[in-house]
Amino acid sequence: MSIVHHPSEAWLLDYALGNLNEAFEAVLRAHVGVCAECREAIEFAERLGGELLQALPAAGAPGGAREICDEYEQRHAGAAAVSRAHGLGASDDIEQFVQVYLNSSLDALPWRQIGRGLRLCRLSEQDGARMWMLRGQPGTVLPVHGHAGSELTLVLKGAYFCGSEIFRAGDIEDADESTEHRPVITRDGECVCLAVTEGRLRFRELAPRLVQPFVGI
């Protein structure tokens, strides 16, 4: 698996610190499981955090620094022994991935057809972050859409284009309020993605806006 697109450093730092809600954490854990480069970045952040802690004065620290240090240690007890950099050992076998992550087979998930060649399955919603899977047939063109918050999309199988960029299995597309895109699934095979989105998607065209309330995207 040759991975080209990674989450930003800010995402990796929040992941290393355990600051993310479950949905974003899960999609990043799946990427980290197959991405050596991001594992290294997380290990670096963990080492740096450990060294900063040791550099803080042990007693009599002004301004509550000691309390911050204690709180950090409590929250991250055992972090040095169990690094978050190891992910969940996701593999490029999609059936195995879905079995491990969702305790289901791909076909048994509650898919809904939302347009020609496109199926969607909502998996969870927590603190305004929705996790869903998307399954598109070769050559399917998705509607143009913008975002009301962050969106991380992990490609599990196949590939899609966004403008001049191509996202393949293992890649993460890191989008936010400034991103408007029209993903196009490549013609060589089905594409399956796991995505986490904050806030509603903003569709430019009428048809997806009309189905939006029914599928909850």
Residues in contact with Zn ion by the rule CB under 5 A: 6, 35, 37-38
Q: Report, in Å, the least distance between residue 174 CB and Zn ion.
A: 10
List the end-to-end C-alpha distance of the chain, in Å, as a whole number.
29
For the bound state, the minimum distance from the C-beta of residue 22 to Zn ion, rounded and expressed in Å, comes to 20
Give the Cα separation of 148 and 93 in Å (integer): 32
Q: Closer to Zn ion by CB, 31 or 145: give it.
A: 31
In the complex, least distance from residue 115 CB atom to Zn ion, rounded to whole angstroms: 30
Question: Smaller CB distance to Zn ion: residue 6 or 157?
Answer: 6
Strand 172-175 relative to strand 201-203, pairing: unpaired
Q: Can you say how many angstroms the Cα of residue 58 is from the centroid of all Cα atoms in its chain?
A: 37
CB nearer Zn ion, residue 37 or residue 70: 37
> What is the rounded distance in angstroms from the CA atom of residue 69 to the CA atom of residue 62?
12
Nearest distance in Å: CB 85, Zn ion: 11
The side-by-side arrangement of strands in the sheet containing 180-181 is 180-181, 145-147, 201-203
Distance CA 207, CA 168 (A): 28
The CB-of-7 to Zn ion minimum distance in angstroms stands at 7
Nearer to Zn ion (CB atom), residue 20 or residue 217: 20
DSSP strands (E only) in 22-138: 112-115, 118-126, 129-136
Question: Tell me, what amino acid is at 185?
Answer: I
Nearest-angstrom CA–CA distance, 42 and 47: 9
State in angstroms the smallest separation of the CB of 3 from Zn ion: 6
Residue type, 23: A
Which run of H or of E encompasses 137?
none
Q: Which is nearer to Zn ion, 6 or 130 (CB)?
A: 6
**Closest CB to Zn ion among 37 and 71?**
37
